[in-house]
Structure 1
Amino acid sequence: MPATPAEKRAAFRALHTSGCFMLPNPWDAGSAAYLASLGFQAVATTSSGYAWSKAQADNHVTRDAVLAHLREMAAATDLPVNADFENGFGVDAAAVAESVRLAVATGVAGLSIEDSTGAADGSLFPLAVAVARIKAARQAIDENGGDTLLVGRAENFFTGKPDIDDVLVRLRAYSEAGADCLYAPGIKTRAHIEAVVKAVAPKPVNLLVSAPSEFTLEDLAAMGVRRVSVGGALARAAWGGAMRAAQALAQGRFDGFADAASGAELNALFSKARE
């Protein structure tokens, strides 16, 4: 029997109680099935990876398309799926609440809400507005699926405003507003990571690692990080391989296929995934 949304959400919450786990980011059902075959305990969607698969830039996909993607991803695996739900697809709290209600209905085990306005200047919502949006998301979850995990994101380092003091203020406020897990994508140093962990303790912290890092998962666990995601990095790695192979073809060469996965291996994987 496939796992129910309630079972997935319970398993996901349990992962956040102790230790540190890897939360890789597939961009479609096939990549989700492959990650499940490797023994990962949960996965998270990636707004950028999904957008690129639709020939669009990150944060330019419609809410309806993202909701359809979340339904597909939740149905593709028995693993809990955490949704990269961008900024909640709404400027005000009421719009965020409506979007979150729809996201919960897709069967995801968790979802994140960013405090970026999405404007070209990289601006963030004023703190009071950002807090109201998290509170609205919390209420929508409580009323429509209270076991869904809510992640509050401070986007300072992603939007060109790397102010760690403001990050800490925002994350504490999001925690108090009802976020279950806190996330500041873009922080990289030990000092910043440990400051975030300390600021919101005992609530869990998600860390983004999307490039080669001096830290191992064990190192991050020792700093108090509870989960590690990779954003669009796996999708970028896949695109990198495909682009190199295609560029070789454009030059009349076939050496770009040297590291390609075998068709037999992929057919065996997806035949097993359907069982």
Structure 2
Amino acid sequence: MAEGKQKNTTGEESVKLFVGQVPKHMTEAQVLAIFEEFALVDEVNIIKDKATLSSRGCCFVICPSREEADKAVDACHNKKTLPGASSPLQVKYADGELERLEHKLFVGMLPKNVKEDEVADLFSKYGTIKDLQIIRGSQQTSKGCAFLKYETKEQALDALQAVNGKHRMEGSSVPLVVKWADTEKERLARRAQKAQFQALNKPNVDSQHPSLFGALPMGYVPPYNGYGYQVAFPFLYGEILKFQKHILWVFLFCGK
């Protein structure tokens, strides 16, 4: 890790940038020197292979504020090519950073008939609300939860600590649940886990070959044999033909 000359003393939130197309021979100190030409940088961390500990050709750059991070992106993304690289630098906010900087909270256990003004009145005590949205279904009915964004992280944290599990709104028998809203990466991971769980617990039913020891699969239609009825179990078909021949023989030779 290479640290910048000027550390963050402004109280603002640090911002992590992902930087690609970094030549593998470059050190963290060299990358730091390049970015400090355009913005204030707290530190640089080269991303390394876990097995070989060699550079993977990318790194994280930590800036002391969003303003400084934007300076680095504007100056370097697709504009500056480092010595030994075949393509210009790719500089962007690291995964989840933009969502983290929104200071977004999830609020659950809201009464279904609650209005946005009522939610705003409660949470505005802790800071400036930039956005508030009650989640609604296809019929525009409330799902009993909402998302809201604060101007600063401190305001969101104050609201979370003051309200979560401690405040009940009129018309509700349970306290509100307040937590940091999931990032897109966390939502995708949860969906993948849910899909995996459903796949592992899905009944293994072969609709073409019903089990002799259990119920027939839903929708199973026995094959038609051309004699006006259907055979539920194909292996009985030969026995039925033998029985028909026997009846015919008895009728022909013993029926008179």
Same fold, TM-score > 0.5, yes or no: no
> What's the TM-score bracket when you normalise by the shorter of the two chains?
under 0.3
Which protein has the bigger helix share?
1
Q: Report 1 or 2 for greater relative contact order, CA contacts < 8 Å, sequence distance ≥ 6.
A: 1
User: TM-score, with normalisation over the residues of structure 1?
Assistant: 0.24
Normalised to the residue count of structure 2, the TM-score between the two structures is 0.25
